[in-house]
Structure 1
């Protein structure tokens, strides 16, 4: 597959069923270098199923998924080399320290201890979590655990980072700080970011947006463009119209 000049993730004509139910129906979109792409949909829209296909927890059966021009079907696990992942549920070892968790991941990626320690310090410092490096993960609150997982996803200097409902269960200030940091990563480091969410306030007007409902893409473009195309006054109202639910009365 030939990759477009700035396309890092290409999802084409992907359908997926399990237990006789169609979870994804002809899904396709592109995530570009230096862009924050929000995958927005209500619970049950198919976001996590798609995330599982991108990360190869499930195998793609219909359609194709390519990272940096290499399809998962053809390249297998090697296609995931440019990918950093933050899952919805924590995957840190609670009884290891932050340093031990991150060193373990770095070794799995083939990094030397010296390079790993340098990158660990850099990423934790950017996330204002460096002082927690020798604490056990079990002692961290949800916000700090999530910051450690983001740092882990960035250790090997990926070109694409995918995050599945990364702020679930966090308080509003922590959510805003993490959302702001990931936007900054896309803008300043040229990362391609795919951010799955059901929360409108995590999406900026100039973000790329893919709206899913019942396994299908119902709108795509910039967030501002999706609002304009629906003839509504806000992203909340546009989202409500696209998925067929009443808009919140307090929506702007």
Structure 2
């Protein structure tokens, strides 16, 4: 993928994963997973259900503790400097986590308070981020009255309030209609270009991959490919990333 204008070669990667492994009850789920994300880079983590995507996200967010390998976020080792590492990261989980009975503004301000922001800064950033996702007119609307696509945009705005270097999106379009999915994919690509945030987007849907994206193909806990769409197609002698995925994994992603 072409480097973003926001990328700085002298700054540490937004995310650096090295030799990561993880097992459930002795059964390996992730094996020797390694990759990096630079500033402003959007990387698609493409894998079928059960490939290990959610486990990987659980390790990066430290819902699970990793014992094999290393994870650094913005140059901070996740195990040794977990507070500083988490301060560099925003997350949108697969399952919605907004409080439906609060307004958009109340959800954002509450989240900002958890990050130690004073109310003035929280309000300023809430207005800034909610404007960027095109929902300024919905700031005082209760979340339960928003569409699924609008709620996802609020979650992305919330994840960026503390100005992280890295944004993790775990299957963020689950349950959205085609138009809402397309709008969300377009928005996140624009977000990388405009704000320089690095995004790791986990999905099993081929049509969420743009030609300029870097793609990591994860299958049975292993990285099968890591490169631009054109590079992976060239390596696999295929015309589309869907064909390349099928050749790499022997199955359809979805």
TM class by shorter chain equals: over 0.9
Q: 1:236 aligns with which of 231, 238, 242?
A: 242
- Residue in structure 1 matched with residue 224 of structure 2 by the alignment: 218
1:6 offset after TM fit, Å? 5.4
Alignment partners' CA distance in 2, 1:247 and 1:185:
25
Q: 1:227 aligns with which of 214, 217, 233?
A: 233
1:170 offset after TM fit, Å? 0.5
Q: 2:163 aligns with which of 157, 169, 182?
A: 157
- Residue in structure 1 matched with residue 76 of structure 2 by the alignment: 70
- Residue in structure 1 matched with residue 34 of structure 2 by the alignment: 28
- Residue in structure 2 matched with residue 58 of structure 1 by the alignment: 64
TM-score by length of 2: 0.93
Alignment of 1:106 onto 2:76: no
DSSP 3-state at the match of 1:94: coil
1:42 touches 1:213 (CA, 8 Å); kept in 2? yes
- Residue in structure 2 matched with residue 19 of structure 1 by the alignment: 25
DSSP 3-state at the match of 1:28: strand
Root-mean-square deviation over aligned CA pairs: 1.6
Deviations 1:184-219 (A, max 9, x none): 111122111111111111111221111000000001
Q: Which runs of 4+ in 1 moved over 6 A?
A: none
Unaligned runs of 5+ in 2: 1-8
2:91 touches 2:167 (CA, 8 Å); kept in 1? yes
Please show how residues 98-247 of structure 1 align to structure 2 within 5 Å: 98-245=104-251
Alignment partners' CA distance in 2, 1:247 and 1:69:
32
Tell me the number of residue pairs that the alignment of Structure 1 and Structure 2 aligns. 246
1:10 touches 1:29 (CA, 8 Å); kept in 2? yes
Unaligned runs of 5+ in 1: none
38-47 vs 189-198, which moves further: 189-198
Q: 1:49 aligns with which of 49, 55, 64?
A: 55
Deviations 1:218-243 (A, max 9, x none): 01111221111100111110011111
1:91 offset after TM fit, Å? 0.9
1:157 offset after TM fit, Å? 1.1
TM-score by length of 1: 0.93
Alignment of 1:79 onto 2:90: no
